[in-house]
Structure 1
Amino acid sequence: MLNYRQLHYFWVVARTGSIVRACEQLNLTAQTISGQISLLEDSLGVDLFQRVGRQLELTEAGRLALPYAEQMFQLGHELESLLRSQPGEQHTLFRIGVADVVPKSIVYRLIAPTMQLNEPIRITCREDKLERLLADLAIQRLDMVVSDSPMPPHLDIRGHSQKLGECGVSFFATEAVEQRLAGDFPANLDNAPLLIPGQDTVVRGRLMRWFAEHKLRPRIIGEFDDSALMQAFGRSGSGVFVAPSVIASEVQAQYGVRLIGQTDAVSESFYAITVERKVSHPGVVAITEAARSKLFSD
Structure 2
Amino acid sequence: MRLNKLLPGLLFILLIYSCGAPKVLTNAKTEAETYETAGNYAAALAQWKSFVETTPLEQIAGADFAKAAKLAFKAGDSEAAKSWFDQARYKNFADAEMYQTLSEIYRSEGNLSKELSALESYSEKFGSENATVNERLFQMYAEISSWEKANEFWEKMNATAKQTENNLGTYLEVNKKLENNATCDSVATALLNLNPDQPEAIDWLAKKYYRAGQKRYEVEIEKYEQNKTRKQYAALLKELDLVTADFKKALPYLEKLWAQKPGKEYAGYFVNIYARFGDEEKVDFYQKYLSQ
TM class by shorter-chain length?
under 0.3
The structure whose RCO (Cα within 8 Å, separation 6+) is larger is 1
Q: Report the TM-score when normalising by structure 2.
A: 0.21
Higher alpha-carbon Rg: 2
Q: Report the TM-score when normalising by structure 1.
A: 0.21
Higher helix share: 2
